[in-house]
Amino acid sequence: MSPAGVPLSWYLVLAAFLFTLGAAGFVFRRNIITMFMCIELMLNAVNLTFVALAYHTHQVDGLVLAFFVMVVAAAEAAVGLAIILTVFRNRASLQIDEVQSLRD
């Protein structure tokens, strides 16, 4: 469009929107795997924010942080899916509401 470029705030608003979507999905969905995917969506939104702000501050640190987020998200996905597998093995169900043993 305009050679002046896209205002940075649009990137940030998109990231905020994706974050809110992820939060919404986490609160409202009942399938464990879907909830986990919403977490990944939130992480991606945060990544976008980091990269956009790296552009804004004109420093590479934002990118490095985004990199770390990705690494940690990968590790977390591995362990989390392993947990989901174990839960499924024990309860044969992927509904989050049936996994309520940690109550008082």
Q: Does 78 bind other proteins (CB under 8 A)?
A: yes
How many residues sit close enough to other proteins to count as binding (CB under 8 A)? Answer: 82
Residue from 17, 15, 21 nearest 34 by CA = 21
Give min distance, CB of 87 to other proteins, in A: 10
Which one-letter amino acid corresponds to residue 67? F
Instruction: Fill in the per-residue mask, 53 to 72: x = in contact with other proteins (CB under 8 A), - = not in contact.
Output: -xxx-xxxx-xx-xxx-xxx
Whole-number minimum distance, CB 42 to other proteins, in Å? 10
Distance in angstroms (rounded) separating the CA atoms of residues 41 and 22: 5
For position 91 contacting other proteins by CB under 8 A, the verdict is: no
Encoded amino acid at 88, one letter: F
